[in-house]
Amino acid sequence: MNKAIVKTLTPVHVGSGKSFKHKIEFFSEGDYIYIIDSEKIFDKIGTNGIDEWVSAINMEVSVKDFLKARHLTYKPEDISLRKCALFNPIKKDKELHEQIYSPVYNCPFIPGSSIKGAMKTALLDYITDNKKVIEKERFKLSDIYREEIKNEKKRIKWFDEKTDSVLFGEDANHKSTRFLKTGDAYFKNVKTKVYFTQALNASENGWKLNANISNLYEAVPEEATAVFEMKLDDVLFARNLEKESEKWQKPQFEYLHKGLIAVAEQINRASIKALERELDFFKDVVPDKAGINYIKKCEDILEIAEKCKNNEFVLRVGANSGYNFTTLRWIDKLEIFQPLATNNNYALLRKEIQKNGNKKDYSRESLWPRTRKMITDGTPFGFIKITLLSDEEYEQYKKEMENIREQTTGEKIETSLISNKPQTRTAPGKTIQPPQPYTGNLSQGTGKIPAQVIRSGKTNIVKLLIKDNETELPLTGYASEIETGKYIYVRITQYSKGKIVSVYYESDIK
């Protein structure tokens, strides 16, 4: 069992770490957001206009006004990297947080590390449910808390390195989670959407959306699916079990002996518990319309989780997941924090978690956390459902996807939903002679480099034909789709540390 399907139940944002300034690096028009492509702007303004554009950016002149001042006409697609549907109105001028994208497949994806991290938290919740583990380890406050003096100011630091090393293993080469292997999930036929978010916040007049806590996110929309790699490496675990049998018999490593299906069931139980806790919390809360919709969404997701088969589980990943789901409140089980309601150590922890601008201490309030970040219609971020596939189920899934692809496009090729290999095909009825690989020196500005289009789209993906080099990159400088399999010449526009970073279309190879 090495394959799994991930389906987004609500929008998922895993950030690239990059954000775009409104009107300068992205703009809205109608029901769409357009992210600026600097290469396409360069095409329009020429080399002589670059300094003027940089100056305009520094003065925060919008890209529309800049092009208008130069009497340049354009369609939004002519100057954009991609076009994203706007899910809900933007009520405040905000930077756009970019969804992480694959430069090879030119599509959004959820990194395997994000999925594995969320699974690890669920396993941590499962492990700490085991009283044998908690009673045996008896964690002290000093294991997770310390005070530091810096510039004559006391600084409190909470950390989980000690608990992590005890419950999962000392380092990367000894952690139990190294047997759990998850690949990246590429959403190859999916267009991202842009969502305006606010925070459902506790106030004197009940729980309401707070316009002061707002953001703009590009995200994978709900109902998107992708296939990715997932397995529990039984062979590697068996080898380690043979070498260090006593170590791997500890109760915190019990899940490794049960197999991936059992792990899926444990993770799903942790998600059910978290959703039930969230719904129980809101029994004592009077929310506004967005809050009511949020509760309904959580109820729907809980129903999905409760109906999961043993090879299925619900998980929450990515941004805006919130403290309850990011931690699953595992730390609440530690003996040093009992009883939670009156424990001073726990009040210290909450005070650090609930830092706020007005420096008010909420650490003794019974209802917390006081904030839930969500789309303005009440939709939460980050919920996904994962289905583990047997080899037979995966083969059946491939056939179904191939049939759908053939019926909708007339093409009998492997669907991009299945394969994580770039597609290659030649145009019907044509015999294409591959050009000779490039053998000269490489640097920024080097041109006449042969390349083959390996995936066609608004942004085409090309494979460079260079001797001893099989780099695959998105193609800039060409706004339309190029036929898959076609040979073209490209120019290197960015070259760093011996690697080609970006290329630009030059001409077709006749």
Residues 370 and 498 placed together within one structural domain of the fold: no
H helices within 198-259, ranges in order? 234-243, 254-258
Residues 148 and 287 placed together within one structural domain of the fold: yes
The mean pLDDT value of the chain amounts to 86
Q: Which residues contact 471 (CB under 8 A, 6 or more apart)?
A: 463, 464, 499, 500
Which of 360, 379, 399 is the last residue in one of the domains? 399
pLDDT at 426: 40
Cis peptide before 251 (omega within 30 of 0): no
C-alpha distances (whole Å) from 491 to each of 18, 438, 464 are 26, 12, 10
Q: Are 334 and 42 in contact (CB under 8 A)?
A: no
Task: Give CA–CA dist 330/343, Å, rounded.
Answer: 16
Residues 328 and 467 placed together within one structural domain of the fold: no
Tokens 């001042």 belong to which residue?
69
Which of 341, 376, 399 is the last residue in one of the domains? 399
pLDDT at 507: 85
Residues 115 and 246 placed together within one structural domain of the fold: yes
Q: Is residue 32 part of a domain?
A: no
Tokens of 148: 């530091």
pLDDT at 405: 66
Q: Is the pLDDT of residue 402 over 80?
A: no
Q: Is residue 347 part of a domain?
A: yes
Task: Give CA–CA dist 170/168, Å, rounded.
Answer: 7
Domain containing residue 474: CATH number? 2.40.50
Residues 339 and 462 placed together within one structural domain of the fold: no
| Angular region, 359: left φ>0, alpha ψ -120 to 50, beta rest | left
Q: Which helix (H) or strand (E) holds 125?
A: helix 112-128
Determine the average pLDDT of the residues in 87-96. Answer: 86
DSSP state of 151: T
Residues 335 and 466 placed together within one structural domain of the fold: no
Q: Is residue 438 part of a domain?
A: no
pLDDT in tens, 453-466: 988 876 788 999 99
Angle between helical axes of 161-168 and 112-128 (0-180°, round to 10): 80
Q: Is residue 38 part of a domain?
A: no
Determine the average pLDDT of the residues in 332-339. Answer: 87
Residues 298 and 354 placed together within one structural domain of the fold: yes
Q: Is residue 361 part of a domain?
A: yes
Task: Give CA–CA dist 62/59, Å, rounded.
Answer: 9
pLDDT at 423: 44
pLDDT at 269: 96
Looking at the DSSP bridge assignments, the partners of residue 446 are none
| Dihedrals phi, psi of 346, to nearest 5 degrees | -70, -35
Residues 377 and 492 placed together within one structural domain of the fold: no
Q: Residue 462 belongs to what domain range?
A: 446-508
Q: Are 459 and 104 in contact (CB under 8 A)?
A: no
Q: Is residue 433 part of a domain?
A: no
Q: Is residue 83 part of a domain?
A: no
Residues 385 and 494 placed together within one structural domain of the fold: no
Residues 184 and 245 placed together within one structural domain of the fold: yes
Residues 176 and 303 placed together within one structural domain of the fold: yes
Q: In total, how many domains does the chain have?
A: 2
Residues 320 and 249 placed together within one structural domain of the fold: yes
Q: Is the pLDDT of residue 427 over 70?
A: no
Q: Is residue 229 part of a domain?
A: yes
| Size of the chain, expressed as the number of residues it contains | 510
Which of 366, 382, 399 is the last residue in one of the domains? 399
Task: Give CA–CA dist 180/94, Å, rounded.
Answer: 38
Q: Which residues contact 462 (CB under 8 A, 6 or more apart)?
A: 451, 452, 453, 454, 472, 473, 474, 475, 488, 490, 503
Tokens 């609440």 belong to which residue?
332
